[in-house]
Amino acid sequence: MLLCVEVCTPGALGCATHQCDTSFACVYPAGVQHGACAGDAGSLTLDDEPVYQDGDELVWRSAPFNRDWIDLRGSETLSVFYPPKIHDALVAQGPNALPTGVYAWISSDPTDASDSPEASALVRNITMGVGQPVEYTRMDQNAVNVLNDTCAEYSFRLEVRAAAGPLAPADAVRPASTDAGLDGASGEGDVPQSDAAADHD
């Protein structure tokens, strides 16, 4: 028996799937709506995740490891906006200030880990987002754009860090972790500067 397998790549002739169609959407922290996607039905608003202080940095994460992650389709660009505390910290440092670090984790398993019988269980495979699945294409003091430059679908979580300056009040300290010891990990180096032009009200 001769088995014929068709491989679809972006721009491939005769490929009838829409898996690699490009798309763009905005992702907002809870309570934030501004920029190019404000009011767009395709935008996503995340659950409220607090900004906490870790040493001399403010830290925000899109979700814990064991909760819903952000869906990232093939050839999709997501503009992920920062919460106000991160934005305000960057503005206070001057017009050229950018996050001290932006780190992504990706998974090919879109399953919501909170559906697990054990709330702290990790039911998805996880790796640091590097290379084509997570490309940081633009960045400013409002948002970072993340491109999945493949045809595969992933779920991902993002962590953004910014210089905090003086120690924050006691209510801004790091919350108790539910990430089974993984949330202390950080990426290998910072994201290079780029020229995002998202507006901030």
- Report pLDDT digits (tens) over 7-36: 344 444 434 566 678 888 899 998 786 666
Rounded to an integer, the average pLDDT of 159-177 is: 64
191 or 123: which leads in pLDDT: 123
Per-residue confidence (pLDDT) for residue 191, from 0 to 100: 38
DSSP the chain: -----PPP-TT-TT----TT--EEEEEE-TT---STTTT-TT-EEPPP---EEETTEEEEESS-TTS--EEE-TTEEEEEEPPHHHHHHHHHT-TT---SEEEEEEES----GGGSSSTT---S--EE--STTSEEEEE-SSEEEEE--SSS-EEEEEEEEEE--SPPPGGGBPPPP-STT-TT---SSPPPP--------
Tens of pLDDT, residues 72-83: 999 999 999 999
Per-residue confidence (pLDDT) for residue 143, from 0 to 100: 94
Rounded to an integer, the average pLDDT of 46-65 is: 93
Tens of pLDDT, residues 117-166: 554 455 568 888 888 999 999 999 999 999 999 999 999 999 999 999 75
Percent of the chain exceeding pLDDT 90 equals 44
Per-residue confidence (pLDDT) for residue 38, from 0 to 100: 56
